[in-house]
Amino acid sequence: MKILRDLFRDYRFAVSFCILAVLVFMALLSFFSPYDPTLWNVVPRDLKPSLKYLLGTDSNGQDIFWMACFAVRNSLIIALIATLVSRIIAILVGMLAGYKGGATDRVLMFISDTLLVIPLFLIMVLLAMLVREYMNLVVLGLLLSFFGWAWDARLIRSVILSLREREFTKNAILSGTGTLNLVLNEYMPFTMPLIFSTLINNMAWAIGLEITLAILGLVNMTIPTLGTMLNWAINYQAILLGRWWWILTPVTLSIFLFIALYWLSVSISEYLDPRTRIQRVGAG
């Protein structure tokens, strides 16, 4: 409880916590939606926001508020799949490279450097084009996860490199602890805070890339996400026809989501860094 209280002293944590709470509530609300998101023309088209239709309706004859709930839910699901799988890859690569060193380290770090340096977005476009017809939430999440681990593997590796030189490593090895045991039980706790803060950043990255791929029409357009909602609105010329409520809903939701995720990660990593924590909450 004390940790939470300290964290809430930072306005950024408080703001992002509230925004995320609202968004998660929307995502949960989608389970109680009166409409099926795959059906069209369930409500009158192109109505402005009103009490009956909170955020208005779109040109497909769908209620924008309920579509937004589905969109937030699906975008979060994609982000979670992408992030969790890429965390596993990042942890494995980072720990292996850091602990083994030598040739293993060089090869793994070369691969991750390459992924960092080349314009990945184009590779993803190429890949997404080829699996377009199999595209769903899981495939997209996995696709993103294969490319989202490079930077974080590097961070984890650098932590392991410094842990390896510490006294307790020698103690553990001399007292007969196996490599797997050592890495999982002794090193993992040290890297957990780092893994957690990269997790949030990676979620934001995945959601952003989903929106970009959706704008290019490379994802399954029948699944509502923040990206596909925006794509439909643009395709139906919502800007030109002045249907601001349709275009602004996904844009505003994304802006809030990105700011909330970023502030959360900055706030938590500042809290985890003892130097900045003392500045903020005092030494006590």
Partner 1 sequence: MAFIRGYLIPRLIQYVLVIWLGITLVFIIPRLTPNDPVMRVVGELRGRGSTLEPGTMDQVIADLTEMYGLQGSWLDQYWAFWGRLFRADFGVSFFQFPTRVNHLIATAAPWTMALLLTTTAISWTMGNIFGGLAGYYSRKPWSRTLDVIAMVIRPLPYYIFSFALLLIFAYVVRWFPITGGAQLGAIPTWKWSYIKDVLWHSVLPAMSLIILGVAVNFQTMKLIVQNINAESFVQYAKLGGVTEDRIVGRYIIRNGMLPQITGLALSLGQIFSGALITEIVFSYPGLGSLLYNAIINGDYNLIMGITVFSIVTITTAILILDLTYPLFDPRVRYN
Contacts to partner 1 by CB under 8 A: 12, 110-111, 113-114, 116-123, 125-127, 129-131, 134, 204, 208-209, 211-212, 215-218, 230, 239, 244, 247-248, 251, 254-255, 258-259, 261-263, 266
Exposure string for 123-135, b = 16+ CB within 10 A, e = fewer: ebeeebeeeeeeb
- Nearer CB in complex with partner 1: 118/173: 118
The one-character DSSP state at 48 is P
Least separation in angstroms between residue 59's CB and partner 1 is: 18
Is the Cβ of residue 42 or residue 120 nearer to partner 1 in the bound state?
120
Phi–psi pair at 236, nearest 5 degrees: -90, 15
Minimum Å gap between C-beta 181 and partner 1 is 34
In angstroms, give the least distance from the CB of 91 to partner 1. 21
Amino acid at 116: L
| Pair of tokens at residue 46 | 């192109």
Nearest-angstrom CA–CA distance, 105 and 95: 10
265 contacts: CB under 8 Å, gap ≥ 6:
197, 200, 201, 204
Least CB distance from residue 114 to partner 1, whole Å?
Answer: 5
Nearer to partner 1, 80 or 248 (CB): 248
Contact 219, 128 (CB under 8 A): yes
Place of tokens 């995320």: 20
Closest CB 134 distance from partner 1, rounded Å: 8
**Closer to partner 1 by Cβ: residue 62 or 265:** 265
Partnered with residue 63 across adjacent β-strands are 57
Q: How far is the CB of 174 from partner 1 (least distance, A)?
A: 36
Nearer to partner 1, 38 or 235 (CB): 235
Taking alpha carbons only, the member of 183, 178, 116 closest to residue 147 is 116
Closer to partner 1 at the Cβ: 36 or 113?
113
Query: Is 259 exposed, middle or buried (CB count within 10 Å of its CB: 0-12, 13-18, 19+)?
Result: middle
Q: Which is nearer to partner 1, 129 or 173 (CB)?
A: 129
Task: Quote the CA–CA distance of 144 and 123 in Å, as a whole number.
Answer: 11
Q: How far is C-alpha 281 from the geometric centre of its chain's CA atoms?
A: 28
Q: What are phi and psi of 62, to 5 degrees?
A: -120, 150
What minimum distance in Å lies between the beta carbon of 119 and partner 1?
Answer: 5
